[in-house]
Structure formats: C-alpha cells, structure tokens
Amino acid sequence: MKSNSNQLGADQRPAEPSLPERYYTVADVANRLRLSKDFVRRIFEKEPGVVVFEGEKSSRHKRRYRTMRIPEQVLERVIRRLSRV
C-alpha cells in the first residue's frame, strides 16, 4: 500500500485558531467608554486585530456598509494605551 504524505489523519488535522473570549460591537464599546459611536469607529478602524466586514459598494448605494467587531484583548490594549496619556 502506498502512503500519501499529503493526507492528514483525523488525529493529525491542524488545530483551528482559538477565538478571543468575546467580540464587542461599536455600540457596546461606546456605551462602556461613554463615547460616541463615531469616535469609537475612528479609534478602532485601523487597530490591528479588529475584524471588519465590508460589503462591496454598489452603484445604488452612496456609502459603504461596514460592520466592526472588536476583540476583548484589543479593547483592553487600547484602553491601557489611551489611559497612559
């Protein structure tokens, strides 16, 4: 019998990446920090680790639609960084 080294057995499958405990919406973070949703979006829009779901811009819509999810670890990191000021 030939063995195929490209196939992984059930016990050799790569582990799935673990997800952070919790993801927050922009509204959740805005309420928690008592900031506006627009300000929270600006703070987190280019922050590494934030998940952004963005639909394609069609000719019928005048703006793009984005959904942001902020992992708990990222939120804590940004709060620590901003509180050092």
* Residue 3, domain member (yes or no): no
* Residue 7, domain member (yes or no): no
If you search the block for the tokens 């811009």, which residue do you land on?
Answer: 57
Q: What is the CA radius of gyration of the chain?
A: 20
Nearest to 53 by CA among 67, 70, 40, 64: 67
- 72 pLDDT band, cuts 50/70/90, is very high
The residue among 2 and 63 whose pLDDT is bigger is 63
Average pLDDT, the chain: 82
* Residue 45, domain member (yes or no): yes
* Residue 5, domain member (yes or no): no
The count of structural domains within the chain is 1
pTM: 0.67
Between the ranges 5-19, 30-44, 62-76, where is the mean pLDDT highest?
Answer: 30-44
* pLDDT score of 20: 47
* pLDDT score of 66: 84
